[in-house]
Chain A
Amino acid sequence: NAGVTQTPKFQVLKTGQSMTLQCAQDMNHNSMYWYRQDPGMGLRLIYYSASEGTTDKGEVPNGYNVSRLNKREFSLRLESAAPSQTSVYFCASRGLAGGRTDTQYFGPGTRLTVL
């Protein structure tokens, strides 16, 4: 099992450029998440998908869009990158065991710099 994989690992963009961050999980989890991590601010939820076919906004959705392509894949798109979107982006997935909240599993992250 690879767990949660993310591509690319690093990316540098110019202001106004667009890009898509890819995420895939092989644990048959229903829920998937995108977070950004900035110094001193912990992890902030951008978007999540509770199950295949649904997506919802998190705490900081502005400037981002997502697609839950299938149960395995959840992509994050920056349509017009801004310097404020310089951050480390983490994808995570979570399964529900017996109806209870369960652990999130994280990918290795994408380090994005917007110039």
Chain B
Amino acid sequence: AQSVTQLGSHVSVSEGALVLLRCNYSSSVPPYLFWYVQYPNQGLQLLLKYTTGATLVKGINGFEAEFKKSETSFHLTKPSAHMSDAAEYFCAVSYTGGFKTIFGAGTRLFVKA
């Protein structure tokens, strides 16, 4: 069965520091990979996605992620954290022709001043 693992339910960084949120997936077929962000009391919104092509994907708000097939990973990074980045981040995976998306448990990002 497909699954998504996000390492660390909480991550705390200082403003201006590197943000690294980890995501690993298990899959027997090529996946489509997503990162969603959820701000307090809101629904999820797409941050970035990988479907095919270039393995380094750039998203909104300066975030990017790299698909590494050999490591079954899709880690999310941002060079310099901003206070407004404080939110919960969800990694997700789906498949060609599939209707379901599998979500990780989420990582809450805290940004310290």
Contacts and interface: CB of A to CB of B under 8 A. Distances in A.
Interface stretch (A12-20, A43-51, A61-69): A43-51
Q: Which has the most chain B C-beta neighbours within 10 Å: A48, A58, A106? A: A106
Interface in A27-85: 31, 33, 35, 40-43, 45, 48, 50, 56, 58
Interface string A1-31: 0001000000000000000000000000001
Contacts of A31: 99
Interface stretch (B62-70, B76-84, B89-97): B89-97
Interface in A70-103: 90, 92, 94, 99-101, 103
A41 B99 contact: no
A37 to B, nearest CB: 9
B103 A101 contact: no
A109 B40 CA distance: 11
Instruction: Tell me the interface secondary structure of chain A in the complex.
Output: strand
Interface residues of B, number: 25
Given A31-B99, A101-B96, A103-B46, A43 B90 contact: yes
Contacts of A104: 44, 46, 101
Contacts of B41: 109
Interface residues of A, number: 26
A47 to B, nearest CB: 11
Interface of B: 9, 32, 34, 36, 41-46, 49, 51, 90, 94-101, 103-106
12 contacts: A33-B101, A41-B105, A42-B104, A42-B106, A43-B90, A50-B99, A58-B100, A92-B44, A100-B32, A101-B94, A106-B36, A108-B42
Given A31-B99, A35-B103, A56-B99, 15 more contacts: A40-B106, A50-B99, A90-B43, A90-B44, A94-B101, A100-B51, A101-B32, A101-B94, A103-B46, A103-B49, A104-B46, A106-B36, A106-B45, A108-B43, A109-B41
